Every structure is written in C-alpha cells, then in structure tokens.
C-alpha cells in the first residue's frame, strides 16, 4: 500500500523518455564547473583567491555548500538523463542561473573584467540559461512523468513550502538589505540577491511536484534540500570555529538556523518517503 505519511497512491507509470545525448554532455560539463564552486566549502583558502568576486569566509562556505548540493543534483541528471528528473533539474537550474546572471550583470562593479575567471563565470551562467531554457522550451508540451499522487494534506504542505521559499526569495531579491539583516553574518545587497536564487529555485522545484511526485524528482528535490540545509548549518559552525563572530543566542541566528533546519528536515522527509514507498513497491 501507499505511504500514509505522505498520502501517496500509485498511478500508472508514464513514458519517461531519455534526453538527447547533448544534455548528458552539458550535465558533465556543469558538474566539472561545480566542483570548483564546491571547493568554496571544502577548500576555501584555495578557491577564494580564484573566485570571480571577493567573498567573505561565511559567504564562501555558504555558497560552497549550495554548489555541492547543485553538483549532486546535476549528477542525478547525468545518471538518469530522462524527462524525470530532468524536468525538475532543468527548471531549478534555469531559475537559479537566470537570476544569478541578471544580478551579476547589474552588479558588474563586483567583478574584475580583466580576469579570465570573470569571463568564464558569465560564459558558464549565460550558457546554462540558454541550454536549460532551450531544452525546457522544446519539451514545453510534454506532460510530467507520472509517479504518485499526493494527499490533500501533503499538497497543502507543498504549496505552503513553495510560498515560504518563494516569498523569502523575492524578499532577498527585491529588498536585500532588509531581509539579509536577519542573517547571522553581514550580507551585502549583491550577495543577498545571489542567495535569493537558491530560495526561488527551491520554490520552483517544490511547486513543480506538489500535485504529482515522480520518484526521481522527489528524490532529487529531497536530496537538494537536505544538502542545502545540512551544509549551510555545518558551514556556519565550521567557519565560526575559526573566526568567532556569530552570536549563537541572537534571534537572527536562531531564526536562520530554524529556517535551514526546516529546509534540511523537509528534504530528509522527502528522501525517506520516496525511498520507503518505492522500496516497498519493488519488494511487493
């Protein structure tokens, strides 16, 4: 039977065709680039001097944690290379790269245009916008891959999650100083707007599967949220262990920890639900 915790019920599995081989090549190229971004978390002293703009210790680890999560998501697309989870991955990638590209273009003062890293940054991001947008446009008439339908309670939660992530992301994008003032470390408007893309991409992914959750898409979204929540908090702890600037009992810090803790737990629940339900279906 279906997993009652999520109110899942089986539906027939639809055709889930593979993407063209070019998309797999694109995924592999993006993963190579993301390895550098993940280095902001695992080897910040090595990567920070080579980053296209100056980053503080907290921003470096936060961005590095997200790029690690994004690398895992792109690896899932490289592994499956099918409409599901490709649809979810490409929608989230398109939202993220489009916003970051736009924010970067209106904040060129942060970039040293004489450095190759800057031009590579814009090449990768604008190229990602074009490629993901092109694939989504070509497949715009294709219905989502069928997986499982969700209960009214779960659909309500998914809509609430979409609204929270979306409104928070819009706040970071449109009112960066005001919203980022609630973060544990000082965040300038440029970085706040870059961070907004993380929340808006998450909102887009959640909304995409609020009615019907194909197994691969639920797993990929859960993995992304779990890693973002876990690595954001872990990065804050590790960085503060070196610089000792965070006031851990401050309301802003506690609220930030609650936000990313919720994101991580929500992701873990999606992973558990998908694994439990589909594992039980296989065993049956």
Following DSSP, what letter does each residue of 17-32 receive, concatenated? Answer: PBPPHHHHHHHHHHHH
Mean pLDDT per 10-residue section of the chain, whose length is 284 residues: 44 66 86 94 95 95 97 90 90 96 96 91 93 90 72 90 98 97 96 98 95 87 97 98 96 97 97 73 48
For 212, phi then psi, to 5°, come to: -135, 130
pLDDT at 279: 55
What's the predicted TM-score (pTM) here?
A: 0.91
Residue 212: strand pairing partners = 149
Instruction: Report the pLDDT value the prediction gives residue 2, as an integer from 0 to 100.
Output: 40
Q: What is the pLDDT, as a whole number, of residue 283?
A: 47
Dihedral over Cα of 198, 152, 3, 143: its sign? negative
pLDDT of residue 94: 96
Give, in order, the Cα–Cα distances in Å from 98 to each of 47, 93, 180, 219, 234: 24, 8, 21, 24, 27
DSSP string, 56-119: -HHHHHHHHHHHHHHHHHHHHHHHH-BHHHHHHHHHHHHHHHHHHHHHHHTTGGGS-TTSHHHH
Q: What is the pLDDT of residue 277?
A: 61
Phi, psi of 250 (to 5 degrees): -70, 150
Residue with tokens 């690690």: 68
Spatial distance between the Cα atoms of 61 and 189, rounded to a whole number of angstroms: 18
Domain map of the chain by residue range?
16-279
pLDDT at 168: 98
Contact 192, 172 (CB under 8 A): yes
> What's residue 146's pLDDT?
67
Helix (H) or strand (E) holding 148: strand 148-149
152-174 and 189-208 helices, crossing angle to 10°:
160
pLDDT at 165: 98
At residue 172, the pLDDT reads 98
Give the SS3 label for residue 272: helix
Instruction: Supply the pLDDT for residue 13.
Output: 45
Alpha-carbon gap, residue 176 to 260, rounded angstroms: 18
Paired tokens of 32: 């190579």
Separation in Å, CA 62 to CA 6, 48, 131: 31, 13, 26
The pLDDT assigned to 3 comes to 44
Q: What is the pLDDT of residue 53?
A: 94
Q: What is the DSSP letter of 49?
A: G
């Amino acid at each position: 039977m279906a997993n009652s915790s999520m109110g899942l019920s089986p539906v027939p599995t639809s055709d889930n065709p593979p993407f063209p081989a070019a998309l797999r090549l694109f995924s592999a190229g993006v993963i190579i680039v993301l390895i550098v971004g993940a280095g902001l978390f695992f080897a910040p002293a090595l990567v920070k001097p080579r980053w296209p703009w100056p980053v503080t210790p907290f921003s470096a680890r936060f961005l590095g944690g997200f790029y690690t999560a994004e690398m895992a998501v792109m690896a899932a697309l490289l592994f499956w290379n099918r409409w599901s989870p490709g649809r979810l991955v490409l929608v989230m990638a398109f939202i993220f790269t489009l916003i970051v590209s736009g924010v970067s273009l209106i904040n060129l003062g942060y970039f040293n245009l004489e450095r190759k890293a800057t031009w590579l940054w814009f090449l990768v991001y604008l190229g990602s916008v074009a490629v993901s947008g092109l694939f989504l446009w070509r497949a715009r008439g294709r219905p989502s891959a069928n997986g499982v339908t969700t209960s009214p309670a779960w659909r309500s939660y998914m809509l609430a999650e979409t609204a929270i992530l979306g409104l928070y992301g819009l706040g970071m994008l449109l009112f960066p100083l005001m919203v980022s003032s609630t973060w544990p470390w000082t965040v300038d408007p440029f970085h706040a707007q870059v961070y907004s893309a993380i929340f808006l991409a998450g909102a887009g992914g959640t909304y995409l599967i609020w009615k019907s959750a194909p197994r691969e898409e639920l797993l990929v979204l859960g993995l992304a949220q779990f890693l973002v929540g876990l690595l954001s908090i872990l990065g804050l702890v590790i960085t503060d262990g070196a610089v000792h600037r965070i006031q851990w009992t401050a309301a802003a810090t506690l609220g930030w920890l609650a936000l990313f803790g919720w994101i991580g737990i929500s992701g873990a629940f999606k992973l558990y639900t998908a694994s439990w339900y589909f594992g039980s279906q296989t065993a049956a």
